[in-house]
Amino acid sequence: MADLEALRSRALIELSAAGDAAALDAWRLAYLGRQGAVTRVLRGLGELPAEERRAVGAMANAMRADLEGALAQRQTEAENAAIAQMEAGGIDVTLPGREGLVGRLHPITQTLREMLAALGAMGFQVAEGPEVEWEYYNFDALRIPWYHPSRDSQDTFWLEQKPESEKRVLLRTQTSPNQIRFMEKNQPPVRVAVPGRVYRFEATDATHEWMFHQVELLAVDEGISFKHMKGTLTQFARALFGQDREVRFRCHYFPFVEPGAEVDIQCGLCGGAGCRSCGGEGWLEIAGAGMVHREILENVGYDADRYTGFAAGFGVERIAMLRHGIDDIRNFYANDLRFLRQF
């Protein structure tokens, strides 16, 4: 029985030293296997005198059960340790590979870049201006006086200012203030495109957002006439929508141009016959435009007898919607990946 006790403690010491599955298996063979030490003791019981057999047998059986329990516990510990080690290394080679995430440009960024590329090909440089703008550039300098309907507080986000400030500050409602800003700093000839965000204090619906993008166009030079405007804008619209599309110009009033126009493109679905998509019109509006008002040229110090120019403003969301058949502008800023992944 003393031998059994010695065997037991040797087995437990060796078990605690066995660190992995292979070592544990070797230990199991050495003690509990068919040729193992404990098994051999049990098999040899018959050789003992009958009065000892009982006590030694009971002790040997209890020892085998103990060692089996200890082995099971060590096996669990070793498995957990192995998993922890793999996880600490950050690699589980048994897991299937993960697909890499590929980023993409927002559909508005894509549209904006295409617009600027087409304009660049026609000789327009790109400039930018501030989104937080003086009332002067956004309205007064563009001949939009304080009583004009578009100055209604419904339409404009005004910034909070100290009561004593004389010049008011707002979030620009259009990119047109950059006509003034650019001409103040540059002499003709001018060919410039100004992209950017604009803000309107409006309820949102399928065709209105409180923030959207415009691209402003301005060309000023000697001898620029309405026909240059028509040619340039037609060319630009066809670069975006296809060479076979018709473009038309409708008289429209904007305070900073004279004459002014709205620019329509033939509906791509019905080809001009009128359908649901174009509200039965056959045409879709894509821009406001016109010949730069003489007073504006004079106010920035240009010689209005020598120089003339045209300006236009395009809505980027509107163009993206028409090109992709998107029926709700709010999709662009809802950040729903199911929508964004399509572009």
Chain contacts with ligand DAH (rule: CB under 6 A): 174, 176, 216, 254, 257, 260, 288-290, 311-313
Nearest residue (CB) to ligand DAH, 56 versus 209:
209
Q: What is the dihedral of CA 178, 181, 182, 185, to 10 degrees?
A: -170
CB-nearer residue toward ligand DAH: 31 or 332: 332
CA 290 and chain centroid, separation: 35
CB atoms within 10 A of CB 155: 13
Is residue 37 within 8 Å of 10, Cβ to Cβ?
Answer: no
Q: Which residues contact 21 (CB under 8 A, 6 or more apart)?
A: 75, 78, 79, 82
Q: Nearest distance from residue 216's CB to ligand DAH, in Å?
A: 6
Least separation in angstroms between CB 284 and ligand DAH:
16
Minimum distance between the CB of residue 104 and ligand DAH, rounded to whole angstroms? 29
Q: Are 244 and 250 in contact (CB under 8 A)?
A: no
Q: Shortest distance, CB of residue 313 to ligand DAH, whole angstroms?
A: 3
Closest distance of CB 317 from ligand DAH, Å: 12
Beta strands of 230-340 (E only): which ranges? 247-251, 257-266, 283-292, 307-315
Amino acid at 47: E
Backbone angles phi and psi of 178, in degrees to 5: -75, -15
Tell me if 311 sits within 8 A of 218, measured CB to CB. yes
- Which residue, 36 or 290, has its beta carbon nearer to ligand DAH? 290
- Structure tokens that stand for 228 in this block: 């240059």
Cβ of residue 285: shortest distance to ligand DAH, in angstroms?
A: 11
What gap in Å lies between CA 39 and CA 42, rounded to an integer?
5
CB of 257 to ligand DAH, least distance (A): 4
| Interatomic CA distance for residues 248 and 263, integer angstroms | 6
Closest approach of ligand DAH to the CB of residue 289, in Å: 5
CA distance 157 to 197: 13
Least distance to ligand DAH, CB of residue 341, Å: 31
DSSP strands (E only) in the chain: 125-126, 132-134, 169-171, 190-199, 211-222, 247-251, 257-266, 283-292, 307-315
Separation CA 275–CA 279 (nearest Å): 6
